[in-house]
Amino acid sequence: MPTGPQPYSHDQRMARAREIAAKFRAYYGERLLASGLYGSVARGADGPHSDIEIHVVIEGNNIERCFEWSNGPWKAEVDVYSPDVILAKAAELDEFWPLTHGAYVYVQPIHDPEDIFAHARQVALAHTDQEINNLIREVIVGDIYECIGKLRNGILPGFSHIMPAYAVDTVRFGACLLGLAHRRIYSSSVAMFPESLQLSDRPSGYNHLCGMVMRGELSNPPRLLEAANAYWDGLETWAAPRGLPIHTDLDTLLSQSPRE
């Protein structure tokens, strides 16, 4: 019999989650303010080998601790926060926001009399259009531009081995860009690509490159480069009417930056 993750039903996983939450409630006593499931179990989308992920919120300040363990056939993670820390984490905004912040938006409370998780959800979604647009531009220039450069390097003799990884990265950042543009948080990392293809107003070329990655068609460097170049052209066209300048110069940046 293989070792490592073993199959369990959703009901079995939920029962184990409640047992774990009860142990933390007994451990922290009256200091425990809230506990709740996040991840695939919280969404009811867990598979037979999924792990258990729980937030626990306790009284105090600047508290952040992770309990992560494997009990042989199953695994669990419990993140313990004080209210200030979980709200600060929920408020963070970076290029992976569409992928990471489901942990604060899709929480299934086990115990939450003060609606801490509802507050965390509100904070996670409360970003201005300017903040989102600034970040989208950073994703294009700081991440996708670099990936395209690596893919163009990959066509050179002796560099083709780098192309599959950078093709995946290009689509991953592209999916994050679409999530930001639509303020969409994906249900999971495994669902990110197909869910991104359901969003409207995708840059030309994205569908084709994303499809190649999803199908594992990564062994033909010329085809990968052709698809990546088409996506970059489509991305430039997509960004222009949104007032997201991809190209600028240092003098402009310095003139827009406050002196320290």
* pTM recorded for the entire structure: 0.90
Q: Is 227 exposed, middle or buried (0-12, 13-18, 19+ CB in 10 A)?
A: buried
Q: Are 88 and 20 part of one and the same domain?
A: yes
The share of the chain scoring above pLDDT 90, in percent, equals 83
How many residues can be counted in the chain?
260
Please, which residues have CB within 8 angstroms of residue 42's CB and are 6 or more apart in sequence?
36, 53, 106, 107, 108
Expressed as residue numbers, the domain containing 220 is 129-256
Mean local confidence (pLDDT), 15-25: 97
Mean local confidence (pLDDT), 9-29: 96
Residues catalogued as catalytic: 146
With beta carbons less than 8 A apart as the criterion, state whether 185 and 101 touch: yes
pLDDT at 252 over 90: no
Q: How far is CA 180 from CA 214, 238, 243, in A?
A: 21, 14, 15
Q: How far is CA 137 from CA 151, 174, 180, 252, in A?
A: 20, 12, 11, 15
> Strand locations in 20-142, DSSP E?
32-38, 52-58, 64-70, 75-81, 108-111
**What amino acid occupies position 227?**
A
Total structural domains in the chain? 2
Q: What is the pLDDT of residues 100-126, one digit of tens each?
A: 999 999 999 999 999 999 999 999 999
Q: What is the pLDDT of residues 51-87, one digit of tens each?
A: 999 999 999 999 999 999 998 899 999 999 999 999 9
- Residue ending a domain, among 96, 125, 154, is 125
R_g over Cα of the chain: 22
Q: Are 166 and 106 part of one and the same domain?
A: no
Q: Are 135 and 226 part of one and the same domain?
A: yes
Confidence band (pLDDT; 50, 70, 90) for 260? low
Q: What is the largest CA-CA distance in the chain?
A: 65
> Strand locations in the chain, DSSP E?
32-38, 52-58, 64-70, 75-81, 108-111
- Residue ending a domain, among 125, 147, 175, is 125
Q: What is the pLDDT of residues 180-228, one digit of tens each?
A: 999 999 998 889 999 999 999 999 999 999 999 999 999 999 999 999 9
- Name residue 54's beta-bridge partners: 37, 78
Note whether residue 146 is domain-resident. yes
CA dihedral (142, 169, 45, 135) in degrees, to 10, reads 10
Q: Are 15 and 106 part of one and the same domain?
A: yes
Q: Are 108 and 145 part of one and the same domain?
A: no
Measured between alpha carbons, how far is 1 from 47 in angstroms, rounded to an integer? 19
| CATH number of the domain enclosing 31 | 3.30.460.10
Q: What is the pLDDT of residues 225-246, one digit of tens each?
A: 999 999 999 999 999 998 888 8
CA dihedral (200, 201, 202, 203) in degrees, to 10, reads 180
